[in-house]
Amino acid sequence: MENKNQEYRMQMPLLGDSFPRMEVQTTQGPVSLPGAYAGKWFLLFSHPADFTPVCTTEFVAFQKRYGKFKDLNTELIGLSVDQVFSHIKWIDWIKDNLNVDIKFPIITGTEAIAAKLGLIHPGKGTNMVRAVFIVDPKGIVRAIMYYPQELGRNMDEFLRMIKGFQIADRDGVAIPANWPDNELIGDDVIVPPPNNVDAAKKIVTQYDCYDWWFCHKKQ
């Protein structure tokens, strides 16, 4: 078991890596990752199993915000070890009983996919952990998060993260804690600190600053 765990850790992507290339089967047909989403952001999230309470609340929450993700040029993709027919029956149940129509695809996971993404927790049998991968339009992994089976995820945080990434990429800035409601600078963004004396003197005349190394501005 130790060797297999080491294999998972060695193969799983890290921040800044290209998302692993893989062909997957989904509820909407075969998909090639990350190529199918070239030019778009995508959020791939794994869940332990279909027909479980926490996972059901998560899928409803993701779907309720699907339009907001699309507004950020972002697609959603679910994933678990369940087969496609199970995914289909589950999303049918959600539609029939909760009046929510799941529009995004769900991948049927395989051992190869689990190994590439480090999704199997050794103490939880074959169930996948609750993992989230945020991938940018170039196919680069920008964020990875893991959650225990007993704790559902916060989808508004993922929206905040993607919006923050996009602003940081576009403007070359950094995003403060709890943005856009930061306790010190509100919805401002942080200007990169200067790297020489002259620039340090100049920057405090250009922006609102606590000091030369902590300046901020409006988006």
Q: Which amino acid is at 21?
A: R
The CA–CA distances, whole Å, from 181 to 160, 173, 188, 210 equal 11, 17, 9, 18
Residue 55 a catalytic site member? yes
Name the pairing type of β-strands 41-46 and 74-80.
parallel
Instruction: Pick the closest to residue 5 from 129, 108, 107, 109 (CA basis).
Output: 129
Q: Which of 33, 55, 119, 203 is the catalytic position?
A: 55
Q: Which of 157, 149, 27 is nearest to 95 (CA)?
A: 27
- The residues, ordered by sequence, that sit 6+ positions from 152 with a Cβ below 8 Å of its Cβ are 54, 57, 58, 61, 130
Give the separation between CA 189 and CA 41, rounded to whole angstroms.
22
Pull the structure tokens for residue 215.
């300046």
Sign of CA dihedral 153, 112, 40, 218: positive
State the catalytic residues: 55
